Structure 1
């Protein structure tokens, strides 16, 4: 059994070029990174902070959020261009480009910088621990961050770069532009955090993101069943969208709807 697991971990990537990218040549770096992340944010980080005051890292957080706004903004602009203007993929079938396609390297680079951004996203939770903001370390938060890194790695390993997942990446980068801009403003102007009326709409946008991505996969499955993008991966997208829609909707109800309802009683 263990030998079979090792065989999967050492399996050559679907795209041989992937082995040249850091974190994509083997499953071990990503697996170890996520294990360390989980151990720190769920256990050892809290023990480390137990007898310490929250670290004053406001300036670091502001710079980090500004960096994320720029990073996601650049990614969104690039993907929007290749998605809707250059039309690298037909919208009714986003199959991974052939190895000899002249734009294959563009697909690889876009996919990789998005993957690296998901690793950078893990710093969100590290900052929560160092500031002792434990209430923000929810199951939804940790699952979402860890899953994105893990899933992207294995999709690239077994299917290659790009394809249908660009739909998710495009929507996700837009959401993150809005989200990190909110975090940046609320970190700079701490006193107005509660008055930023559009905070709840970030969660709504996140829900809309997963609904739109799932509908796109359903559209392709129904109206273009001959599309070469693997059906199993369409169902993976749909399953995760359902999970995220459920969790984000539950978060929205608990955070915004129920408190408002209780105030009115």
Structure 2
């Protein structure tokens, strides 16, 4: 497939005609992800090669606090949309039609979630500036890149909202817990090793992907007539499975293997 063919694919009319900055352009998101990868894997490390690690503690505290607050808002709005307003049939969460009265609200919340995924990339920037390269794992980079490029592609070809809103709500809740840990660990580094709930963050992340995999599997098995695109159902299953494998391996290497060695 040559470059002109790829461009022709992205020239197809978007499923949602409303243009949202950055989000509505898969090509821009692709360039952002490519720039992120080049910086994280090459340019950032070259820049830091002959420099001492920067002290970014204050910046991290502000960043973590902003992430906590933003994810609380996103979780609250998403939960309200799904379980209070009940704009979807939870057995078959199809995208709302463009003329639906809640479409603007749905679109705005999803867009805010996407902007938050862009801000998540700053995590890795802090790792590079601190020369904390051991934290820049395949899982970390894969997850961050996927969460920027994936939503933009889904928006372009299928539209916004629907079943993937479940992922947004769960992910926002996990990030509230995760960034709370990061904030406390950065604010009180002397007790970082005593924060017992660190490993439960990984368990929470694993539970998140188990729920998402079950959601897609149950819809495919027991509601095959659901109009939510089957391709996205299988994609949800595949991504959830890959995340469970990678987070499971991380949990084993971080918590189970060291414990078995000590015993």
TM-score range, shorter chain: over 0.9
Q: Is 1:76 aligned to residue 72 of structure 2?
A: no
Contact 2:23 2:111 in 1 (8 A): no
Find the counterpart in structure 2 of residue 12 from structure 1: 13
Q: Distance in 1 between matches of 2:25 and 2:219?
A: 32
Find the counterpart in structure 1 of residue 160 from structure 2: 161
Find the counterpart in structure 2 of residue 171 from structure 1: 170
After superposition, residues 24-63 of structure 1 pair within 5 angstroms as 24-63=23-62
Q: Distance in 1 between matches of 2:211 and 2:20?
A: 31
Query: Deviation of residue 27 (structure 1)?
Result: 2.4
Query: Deviation of residue 257 (structure 1)?
Result: 0.2
Q: Distance in 2 between matches of 1:30 and 1:261?
A: 43
Gap change, CA 1:26 and 1:11, over 3 Å in 2: farther
- In the alignment, structure 1 segments of 5+ residues that lack a partner are none
Find the counterpart in structure 1 of residue 3 from structure 2: 2
Find the counterpart in structure 2 of residue 130 from structure 1: 129
Contact 1:10 1:27 in 2 (8 A): no
Q: Distance in 2 between matches of 1:148 and 1:40?
A: 17
Select between 4-13 and 223-232 the one with higher mean Cα deviation: 4-13
Q: Distance in 1 between matches of 2:69 and 2:26?
A: 29
Give secondary structure in 2 for the equivalent of 1:16: coil
Cα RMSD for the two superposed structures: 0.8
Query: Deviation of residue 189 (structure 1)?
Result: 0.1
Query: Deviation of residue 187 (structure 1)?
Result: 0.2
Q: What's the TM-score, normalizing by structure 2?
A: 0.98
Q: Distance in 1 between matches of 2:30 and 2:211?
A: 30
Query: Deviation of residue 216 (structure 1)?
Result: 1.0
Find the counterpart in structure 1 of residue 138 from structure 2: 139
Q: Distance in 2 between matches of 1:222 and 1:243?
A: 21
Contact 2:23 2:114 in 1 (8 A): no
Query: Deviation of residue 11 (structure 1)?
Result: 2.5
Contact 1:10 1:26 in 2 (8 A): no
- In the alignment, structure 2 segments of 5+ residues that lack a partner are none
Query: Deviation of residue 60 (structure 1)?
Result: 0.4
